[in-house]
Structure 1
């Protein structure tokens, strides 16, 4: 028998329930939606979570496609899932937890006696540290971004190669292999010996079906490769970036991009121009380094110094 919160499943069964992580302002219990899939045969444990940032919904879209397609009678091992991590932010469609104005994916490993976000992080980290593999499903917030998988433990970490292998197997097409900020699950869980990646499934307002499908395919690649479910994985070459160049706007105005997401750029290539509302050009920005056009803001209006786009640099194939 396996249990997660109020969800309990014997071998060959699936169950859903709630994981209590605190109380709302009126004293009602907060329960994160959870699912356990207990395979008929023994094997590894995979932990997946989504909506650590409350407006990043593609991961939720992935889970609602994956769970009905996994037959526990054909599964070896267990899958533990928290479907919506950032409960408060999800309710109001915001990125950060409005109770403590915290970005959830900076709160790991959490604190059972801490802030709202720290308590949620502690509860979900307990689930993650008991797994053999972790997929923390994200997207590029509501920016425009390519599909990628992030390896955040750092290239000198003892689990780096295992995390990189997991990202390669997931197969989003691009990998960011760069040590992440303190408090990310994909940094904290490898310190506990659990290979963890942070798939960033595009960027959208609401669901993006193409990115969701890439996520669904990625989850099943992992399930096949690590012997949860029988099947072969056709492993494709991934483009890996080891760092970013980020570009702000030299002037306020309206942005026009001259490069498509995912395109290769050379040093000196024009990335974007800024005009006033009447079409007069105010600034032009070119690439400082060769790389891949990785991410952009969604809305065209910018103030001087405001973030506009990112180029993934130090590129190779893996």
Structure 2
């Protein structure tokens, strides 16, 4: 029997339930939706979670499609899912937890006696740390961005190679291999000896079917590539960026992009122009480094100094 919160599944069974993480202001219990798919055959454990940022919905779109497709009779091992991690932010369609104004994916491994976000991180991490692999499904929030997989442990980490292997097996086509901020699950997992990746499934808040399907394919690639399901995975060579150049606007106005997502960028290429409301060009911003056009703001209006776009740099093929 495998238990996750109130979900209990014997070998060959699927169960759903709730993982208690605290109480609301009226004293009612808060429970995150969880699922257990317990394979008929023994094997490793995969932990998958989504919506640690409350407005990043593509991950729960992935989980909602993967769980019904998993036949525990064909599965070796166990897959554990948390469908919605940032309970409070999800309810109000916000990025940060409104109870403590924290970005939840900066609070791992959590604190059982801490703030709301820290308690949620602690509760979920107690299960994640017992797994053999971790997938933390994200998307680019309000920005437009490519589908990519992030390796956040840093190149000197003892699990770096294993995390890269997991990212390549997921096979989004693009990998950002750059050490992430403290408090990310993709940092905390490797510190516990668990290969962990952070797939960023597109961007611009919403529900993007193309990115969701890419995430579904990625999860099944991992299940096959690591022996949970029969089948083989032969991922293509992927574009890997080991750095990021971010560009802000020198002036206020309207952004007009000269590059689109996934375009190759050379030093000196025009990335975008800023115009006034009548189309007169006020500024032209060019690339400082070669790379791939990776991420942009969604809406065109900017104030001076406001973020506009990012270029993935230090590019190679992995």
Task: Tell whether the structures are fold-level matches, with TM greater than 0.5.
Answer: yes
**TM-score in terms of structure 2 length:** 0.99
In 1: Cα distance, 2:185 partner to 2:74 partner: 29
Query: Counterparts of 1:216 and 1:154 in 2: how far apart (Å)?
Result: 26
Q: Please state if 1:207 is matched with 2:207.
A: yes
Aligned mates of 1:243, 1:111 — CA distance in 2:
31
Per-residue CA deviation, residues 193-213 of structure 1 (Å, 9 max, x unaligned), is: 000000000103321011001
Uncovered stretches (5+) of structure 2, i.e. residues with no partner: none
Which TM-score applies when normalising by structure 1?
0.99
* Aligned pairs for 1:143-154 within 5 A: 143-154=143-154
CA distances 1:26-68 after superposition (whole Å, capped 9, x unpaired):
1110000000000000000000000000000000000011000
State the partner residue of 2:264: 264
The answer to whether the aligner puts 1:123 opposite 2:126 as a matched pair is no
Give, in whole Å, the separation in 1 of the partners of 2:205 and 2:183: 25
Within 2, Cα distance between the matches of 1:204 and 1:141? Answer: 5
Deviations 1:9-41 (A, max 9, x none): 000000000000000111110000000000000
Are 2:241 and 1:250 aligned? no
* 1:127 to partner: Cα distance: 1.1
Question: Is 1:79 the equivalent of 2:79?
Answer: yes
| Paired position in structure 2 for 1:193 | 193
Query: Take 1:156 and 1:8, find their aligned partners in 2: how far apart are those partners?
Result: 39
Query: In structure 2, what is the Cα distance between the partners aligned to 1:204 and 1:299?
Result: 10
Q: CA separation in 1, counterparts of 2:13 and 2:236?
A: 33
Instruction: Confirm or deny that 1:231 pairs with 2:227.
Output: no
Coordinate RMSD, CA, aligned: 0.5
Q: List runs of 5+ in structure 1 lacking aligned partners.
A: none
Residue aligned with 2:219, SS: helix
Match for residue 98 of structure 1? 98
CA distance in 2, matches of 1:307, 1:22: 36
After superposition, the C-alpha distances for 1:243-291 in whole angstroms (9 at most, x for unaligned) are 1000000000000001010111000000000011111111000000000
State the 1:130 CA deviation.
0.4
SS of the counterpart of 1:122? helix
Alignment of structure 1 residues 21-170 onto 2, 5 Å: 21-170=21-170
The size of the alignment, in residue pairs, is 318
> What is the Cα deviation at residue 235 of structure 1?
1.2
Q: Secondary structure at 1:140's aligned position in 2?
A: coil
Secondary structure at the residue paired with 1:165? helix
